Structure 1
Amino acid sequence: MNVAEVNAMTAGWAGRVHGTTVLSGAGVWPLLAILAASADEPGRSELADAVGVPADDGMEAARQMLKALGDIDGIDAALGVWAQEAAQVYPEWAAQLPPANVGQLTGDPSVDKPELDRWARDNTGGLIEHCPVDVHPDLMLVLATALALRTTWVQKFSDDQLKPKHGAWAGRRLAGLNRTSRDLDELSVADTDAGPLSLARIEGDNGLDVHLVLAEEGQPPSDVLPAAIAVVGGEWPVRTGAQLLDAGDEPSAPGVRIVSAQRPSLSITTVRFSVRSEHDLTEHAELLGLQRVSRSREGHFSRIAPVALYLGQARQSAVATFSATGFEAAAVTAMGLSLVSMPVYKARGLQLTIDRPFGFVAVHRATGLVMFAGWVDDPEPWQDE
């Protein structure tokens, strides 16, 4: 499982976000790996660079990633592939795909969209209701992943009203959560490029954890999230909660202070949240390796089909919910390959094609005097440079 490559992509994407959001690089990466194995140059190399594996290994890397995700307790992972008959998808390409739900597109949005949406709902337990792709007659192929994650806290929170006195939420009445644990090391603090970060690890009962990350006030998510991913990945040294308490001094860590307690303990106060996001991945085409293959003037996927295809859509719908009892999240990511066609303009024009023997007349414009007249039976042949 390409953990480092997926985390690097997630961190790079997180470094571009603004405001409330949820995203899943793990949902995008297998699709990009499949596209890398399927694309023509120069898009093939661009995609391979984005996923961090050679293009020739992309299909197998996607297969291993999806299998590894599906084998994790608490995670469901699925791949879906739908194609129009007119796409003439090569059977040998389809045979190389990871195990997938294979369906047919009719070109009729009223038929195809409900089928794609049903797949999204079924494979996320209803957390994602719609597949994030626009269906139209030129949509030849859809590749999609669905990820769903669920865990229950080993130690649950209690619900309580939270009314912050300071900061961006000052004066608001919020759905607060509280709990006290004897495991001081559920808290860790790191000094990073984004400044000091305080991370609280909330342990799930199936091997899945959620790290709540607090930075100094005013730090943007585009700085904090990549730094937090690096901390979780062991790239920054940390001080544990036990080390902070043993030091005796008031910790210089965001949101952390020493309080009176009956025994050494860690009390965590936070909030319930539910976040939904819609992402257009083509807005990050440079990061994700989509610049070349999304150019609609030419085909980029001759390994998939004999018709000229380009990446017309790349989107993700994601949701995450944190409660007193646990955490659940889901993402559906879809890539839509469309048929390359000649540009269609609203204005009308005329075109004259002279492609058989023809005559010519050279005229003095002012007087109408014909200077030369002639006929062309044998034009010049094309000469390669």
Structure 2
Amino acid sequence: MSHSDSISISSGFDSGNIAVLGRDGTTFDLAIVKDHESDFYQWFHFRLSGAKGVPVTLRIGNAAGAAYPDGWKDYRACCSADRQVWRRVPTDYADGALTIRVTPDADSVWLAYFAPYSMERHHDLVARIAGAPGVSHERLGATLDGQDIDLLTIGEGPKTVWLYARQHPGESMAEWWMEGALERLTDPHDAVARSLRQRATFHIVPNMNPDGSRRGHLRTNAAGVNLNREWHEPTPERSPEVLHVLARMDRTGVDFAMDVHGDEAIPYVFIAGFEGIPNWTEEQGRLYHLFRDTLARRCPDFQTRRGYPIAAKGKANLSMSTNQLANRFGCVAATLEMPFKDNADLPDAAHGWSPERSKRLGAECLGALHEILDDLPAKR
């Protein structure tokens, strides 16, 4: 038996996604599997075993049909031997195929669209943060697969802040961001955190889409539904995750909200606002821009030059959470986007955009919020 015969690819684990269509020696023909009941796909996560020291070519032949094919330009896949440190490996996109070339330095390596954030790590995060002084945990309800929708409540101040992430499960950088934000917010030695906890009450949902996360989806839940198009009218059958979270928001009110995401194509960190909502006020807009500009001043990884087009007056899509919350509560709301690629303003050849940078951005967003918190009018 040749050494290449012992090489294998598998994805039968939390957030795994790949199909092996064929192989020729050390060249594998692969395909990303669509989200269940959906045509969305782009997330991949698989294990390559038995190839230590062997150059392997991994060809994802259906890349052109992915949800965001522009995301493949200048993209490099993530690879790890220990699932702790993720490095970028040579990746090319041509003729509709994404080709990854890797020579593993270990018997098993994992490859993924971005460094995964597993449901087990999610449970560890929730358990660790819930055990910190002054933190309460609540199960808001169940997903369609029967998983828990976790809510962490921190602080005792009059301002009401909601942070929620990973409506799109393949955007795993969003939960890395959450880990960084939660670690800072519960740090007893951090003066910003102490001040925030005194001045605001934080309601935090680290993962809005546990089912899609575990299933290895890019964008949808167990029913193939994009949760960020459900906020106008969530239902138990399609979007219980949004239904439970929005019901709690209606009880608490919202003064500031941030929805954390990743963008496949744009190689920058940016936020999107709610300019087109019917109930727009100039004061809301002023406070949104104050937060945006404060974050830009504080954090070199964040910029304001590039982002999404701004909706025309009255034309905002109210099925999206940021628009719905800003319109519903008169609050300041923002959608934060991080790159799957690298941050073109501050490129890192080894890691690209990374879990570590996502975590630090989470902490930095709290610093920006701390600066503007007194400007926010408390609704309740």
TM-score (norm 2): 0.22
TM-score (norm 1): 0.22
Larger radius of gyration: 1
Q: Which of the two has greater strand per residue?
A: 1
